[in-house]
Chain A
Amino acid sequence: MHELSLIESVARLLKRSAAENGIKRITRVCLVVGKLTMALPEALQFAFETLKKDELFREAVLEIREEPVSCQCQQCQHSFTPEDFEFWCPSCGSPQVKITGGRELYIEFYEGE
């Protein structure tokens, strides 16, 4: 359940930014979550509900955009999505593979008034 601490961090970031931008109520939050973080969207939503006792978040809707795992081979530069987390290049067989996507965890934007 690291989702709860992730949402606590989200809340701190949003509170700070809302104060800086003179926003009193947040209506929509877009969170980008890579598949490799193993943060479950349902658990994030559940944790987000706990924020709603705060006036700032009362009407806020959390939208989660999941990003797939992606890799690039450092030998042949082939880009691919690994099946079952097998980090080998399917083109040349090299294990020298860089993870290029799937670890995202950021607030892209939020809306409020």
Chain B
Amino acid sequence: MVKVRIAAPVLQENSAAAAENRSLFQELGLFVVNLMSSPGSGKTSILERTLSHLPADLKVGVIEGDIYTTKDAERVAAHGVPVVQINTAGACHLDARMVKAALEDLPLKELDLLLVENVGNLICPAEFDLGEDARVVVLSVTEGADKPLKYPLVFRLAAVALVNKTDLLPYTDCDLDALCRDLRVVNPELTIFPVSARLDTGFAPWVKWLRERVRIKKGRGGGSHEQESAGI
């Protein structure tokens, strides 16, 4: 009998691919967002609204993660931006290798901003670094205000939370102030933007945040990756 001590991180292949993506994004001065949420929170609607609010001279590319369909990619393509669809064929999250492969189909050198829409899921995507600059979580008020404390990692590692469907607040028991408090309990540094994708309200500060980050990254051609690293 042989005992082999390997102390091998399970996600080392993903971490290596994420590091390659990150250094490519750094070289290009391309700001990359990993957009995450549970299914039905409005990620794609928010993405569409965001595209319509960004100035035409800011070039955006989109990677759409979906388990089987191309429905979301078709919606995004209607906005005239380059979109690559990744079908994970059953997997509940995107990983860095999938994103790396998808990059080959995007005009990366022409882009200022890359928005990656992850598979709808609050647990699994949190564990997989894609090489992004910022993680952004969408949480809708209809999902229940208990989500931050139930799924802490995804909120802890996010730079921004977009609280969507605020137009439905009068019809739910969700207390927006309590929700924001819980988000900050999990992540005191989280920036929170309440929005309604349906009514197209609340997008100005979020779009300003994005434009500022794009400008900084372009300017120094360097990263602003501030998440707690995958290794501890």
Which of chain A's residues 8-67 have a Cβ closer than 8 Å to chain B? 9-10, 12-13, 17, 21, 23, 27, 31, 36-39
List residues 1-39 of chain B with CB under 8 A from any CB of chain A: 1-14
Say whether, besides A12-B13, A107-B7, A2 and B123 are in contact (CB < 8 Å).
yes
Main DSSP-derived SS at the A contact region: mixed
Chain A residues near B6: list those with CB within 8 A: 13, 17, 107-110
List residues 147-194 of chain B with CB under 8 A from any CB of chain A. Answer: 149, 151-153, 156, 184-189
Chain A residues near B132 (CB-CB < 8 A): none
User: Is the Cβ of A103 less than 8 Å from the Cβ of B2?
Assistant: no
CA distance A6 to B230 in the complex (A): 15
Q: Does the CB pair B10–A9 fall under 8 Å?
A: yes
- How long is the Cα–Cα vector from A28 to B196 in the complex, in angstroms? 52
Size of chain A's interface in residues, with CB distance under 8 A? 41
Residues of chain B contacted by A1 (CB below 8 angstroms)? 92, 124
Question: Nearest A residue to B228 by beta-carbon distance?
Answer: A99
For chain A, residues 88 to 110, give those with C-beta under 8 angstroms from any C-beta of chain B: 88, 95-110
Nearest residue, chain B, Cβ from A84: B149
Min C-beta distance of A30 to chain B, whole Å: 9
Cα–Cα, bound, A13→B11 (Å): 10
User: Would B5 and A2 count as touching, CB distance under 8 A?
Assistant: no
A110 to chain B, nearest CB (A): 6
Instruction: List 28 contacting pairs A-B, 8 Å CB cutoff, sorted by A.
Output: A1-B92, A2-B127, A2-B128, A5-B95, A5-B124, A9-B14, A12-B13, A13-B8, A17-B4, A38-B153, A39-B127, A84-B149, A85-B186, A87-B188, A88-B185, A95-B189, A96-B188, A98-B228, A99-B156, A102-B232, A105-B9, A106-B7, A107-B8, A108-B5, A108-B7, A109-B4, A110-B3, A111-B3
Which residues of B are interface residues toward A (Cβ below 8 A)?
1-14, 91-93, 95, 123-124, 126-128, 149, 151-153, 156, 184-189, 228, 230, 232
